[in-house]
Chains A and B, each alone.
Chain A
Amino acid sequence: MTTVKILKYSLSFFIYFLVQVFILKDLVLFGYAFSFLYVFFLLNLPHEVPTIPLLLIGFFLGLLIDLFYDSFGIHAASTVFLAFVRNTWIKVIMPTGGYDDNVPPTLLNMGIGWYIFYSLPLILIHHFIFFYIDSLGTQLYLPLVIRVLSSLVFTFLLGTIVQAIFYKKERVV
C-alpha cells in the first residue's frame, strides 16, 4: 500500500468513527433500527489486507466506538469476529477469474449483486453478536430478532447510499 492510500484510509477511519459516535448514535429508528455504519470501513478495506492487521484495526475501532456507546467491549467483540471471518468469506465467494489487485471490495467496484452477497451475511453476524451480548440476562428474544433484522436493513441501506455518494469507482477497465 502506498502512503497516499494509508493516509486515505486513516482519514476515512476517523470520518466513519466521528459520524458513528456523534450522529448515528442518536439516530435509532422506531427504537429498534440501529445503524452501525462503521462496519463498512472494515468491509471496504482492500482484500489484500491480511487477517492480523484487520483484527487489530477491528479491535481498536470497536473499542473506540464502545467508549462512546458505554457498551464496554460489546462492539469490540462483534467487530473482531467480523474482521476474523471477512477474508475467509471473500475467498469463499470469489468470482470466476479472481479479484483484481488494487481494487477494494466496494459497492461500485464489485456491483450490487456481489456486494449484497458479500456484506449482508457479515453485517448480520456482527449485529447478531452485538445485540445478543447486549440482551444477555434478559429473556427478550423477539425484540432481539427485530433489532438484528431492522438494524441490518438500516445499516445496509445507509451504507449503500454513502458509497453511492462518496465513493469512486476504481476498477480499471
Chain B
Amino acid sequence: MQQIFLFLYRLRAFILFLILELLALGIIFTHNSPQGAVYFNSSNKFTGRLLSSKNNIVSYFTLNSTNKALAEKNASLLNRLDKMTTISDSAYFNLDSSFSNHFNFWSARVINNSINLSQNYITLNKGSLDGVEEGMGVFNEQGIVGRVKGTSSHFSSVISLLHTDLLISSKIKKSEVFGSTKWDGVNSNEAKLLYVPRHVKVEPGLEIVTSGYNAVFPEGLPIGKVKDVSQGSETNYLDITISLGADFSKLNFVYLVKNDLREEIDSLEMEMVTPNQ
C-alpha cells in the first residue's frame, strides 16, 4: 500500500497535469456542442464589464463609419415606411396581424469580437434582462452576423457567422434557389453557399439573402453577393463563393431578431420528423 502511495506521490506533477488538461479539454468539448451551458465565455459579469468599458473607449475611433452606416439604414427604413403607409383614397384591406408582425427587433452593441480563429464568437451588451434569448438571430444593416448562443443577465454571447459550424438557410434573391451559407474558415470576407444543384445558373454578382425557412431570420435579409462559381468536387452541387456583406472587422451596432412563432414552427416540424409512436 505504502508503495502505491509513494508511487503516486512521485507522479503527482504528472497526475495534476492530466487532471488540468482533461478539465480544459472537457470545457472545450462541452462548449462545442451546439446547445451547451455557457460558463467560460466573455458574457459573464466580470468579463462583460471590463470589455464594455474598453469598448466605450475604442468605439470613438469608428464613430464616423458607424454613423454613416446608421444613417444609411435610417434612409432605407424611411423608404420602406413610405411604401407601407396607406393612402387614404385607396381601398385598404387589413391583414391578420398575427402573421404580419411576429418578429421583434432589438439593437445591441458589440463589445468583443474575433475574426481570425476558426471558431469565432461575439459578445453583445444586451442580456436576458433585456429580453435576449438563446437562438435569436443577429444582423446589421450590411448582412447577417450570427446567432445567440447563450446569455447572462446583462450580456450575451453570439456564434459569429465566422464559425465553421454555423449554417444559415439562404437563397439566391433573383432565382429563389435555396442553399446554406457556411464559413469555410479561410477568409473573414468570404463564405460558401452550399447545396445549390448543378443545373442552376449562378452568375457572380447575384445577391444572397436569408430564406426565412429556419425561422430564425425573417426572409430577405442580405447576406452577401456571389463572387465566384465553379464546378465543385462534389458531384451534385456547385462550389459557390460569396463575399459577405457585413464587415466583421468593424462590427459595432447590431440588431437582434426574435421570431415569436419559432417554437410553434419548430415543434410542428419535430412532429413531422418523428411520427407518433
Task: Give chain A's interface residues, CB within 8 Å of chain B.
Answer: 22, 25, 28, 31-32, 34, 50-52, 55-56, 58-59, 62-63, 66-74, 76-77, 80-81, 84, 133-135, 137-138, 140, 143
Residues of A close to B165: CB separation below 8 A:
137
Q: A17 to nearest B CB, angstroms?
A: 11
Q: List 27 A-B contacts (CB under 8 A).
A: A31-B115, A31-B116, A31-B187, A32-B116, A50-B13, A55-B13, A55-B20, A56-B16, A58-B20, A66-B27, A70-B42, A70-B120, A72-B41, A73-B24, A73-B25, A73-B27, A74-B28, A76-B20, A76-B23, A80-B17, A80-B24, A81-B17, A84-B13, A133-B28, A134-B117, A137-B118, A140-B118
Residues of A close to B16: CB separation below 8 A:
52, 55-56
Contact B119 A77 (CB under 8 A): no
Looking at A66, A69, A73, which has the most chain B CB atoms within 10 Å of its CB? A73
B73 at the interface (CB under 8 A from A): no
Taken together as a complex, chains A and B put the C-alpha atoms of A51 and B54 apart, in Å, by 35
Q: With A34-B116, A76-B24, A84-B17 known to touch, is A52 a contact of B12 (CB < 8 Å)? A: yes
Q: A64 to nearest B CB, angstroms?
A: 9
Known: A52-B13, A76-B24. 17 other contacts (CB 8 A): A31-B116, A34-B116, A51-B13, A55-B13, A66-B40, A67-B46, A68-B51, A70-B42, A70-B157, A72-B27, A72-B40, A73-B23, A73-B28, A73-B31, A76-B20, A77-B28, A138-B184
Contact B24 A138 (CB under 8 A): no
Taken together as a complex, chains A and B put the C-alpha atoms of A73 and B38 apart, in Å, by 12
Which residues of chain B from 26 to 64 have a CB within 8 Å of any chain A CB? 26-28, 31-32, 40-42, 44, 46-47, 50-51, 54
Residues of A close to B28: CB separation below 8 A:
72-74, 77, 133
Interface residues on B, range: 35 or more
Contact A25 B27 (CB under 8 A): no
Q: A166 to nearest B CB, angstroms?
A: 22
Residues of A close to B21: CB separation below 8 A:
77, 80-81, 84
Residues of A close to B17: CB separation below 8 A:
51, 55, 80-81, 84
Q: With A22-B54, A55-B20 known to touch, is A70 a contact of B123 (CB < 8 Å)? A: yes
Contact B42 A59 (CB under 8 A): no
Q: With A55-B13, A77-B24, A138-B164 known to touch, is A67 a contact of B42 (CB < 8 Å)? A: yes
Q: B54 to nearest A CB, angstroms?
A: 6
B212 at the interface (CB under 8 A from A): no
Nearest neighbor of A79 in chain B, beta-carbon distance:
B24
B178 at the interface (CB under 8 A from A): no
B185 at the interface (CB under 8 A from A): yes
Contact A67 B116 (CB under 8 A): no
Q: A39 to nearest B CB, angstroms?
A: 15
Looking at B16, B32, B51, which has the most chain A CB atoms within 10 Å of its CB? B16
Residues of B close to A59: CB separation below 8 A:
20, 23-24
Residues of A close to B152: CB separation below 8 A:
none
Taken together as a complex, chains A and B put the C-alpha atoms of A137 and B114 apart, in Å, by 18
Contact B185 A31 (CB under 8 A): no
Taken together as a complex, chains A and B put the C-alpha atoms of A66 and B47 apart, in Å, by 11
B139 at the interface (CB under 8 A from A): no
Taken together as a complex, chains A and B put the C-alpha atoms of A68 and B25 apart, in Å, by 18
Q: B118's contact among A22, A51, A135, by CB below 8 Å, is which?
A: A135
Taken together as a complex, chains A and B put the C-alpha atoms of A74 and B157 apart, in Å, by 17
B169 at the interface (CB under 8 A from A): no
Residues of B close to A50: CB separation below 8 A:
13
Residues of B close to A137: CB separation below 8 A:
32, 118, 164-165
Nearest neighbor of B121 in chain A, beta-carbon distance:
A70
B211 at the interface (CB under 8 A from A): no
B188 at the interface (CB under 8 A from A): yes
Residues of B close to A143: CB separation below 8 A:
185-186
Residues of A close to B44: CB separation below 8 A:
67
Nearest neighbor of A80 in chain B, beta-carbon distance:
B20
Residues of B close to A81: CB separation below 8 A:
17, 21
Q: B119 to nearest A CB, angstroms?
A: 6
Contact B40 A31 (CB under 8 A): no
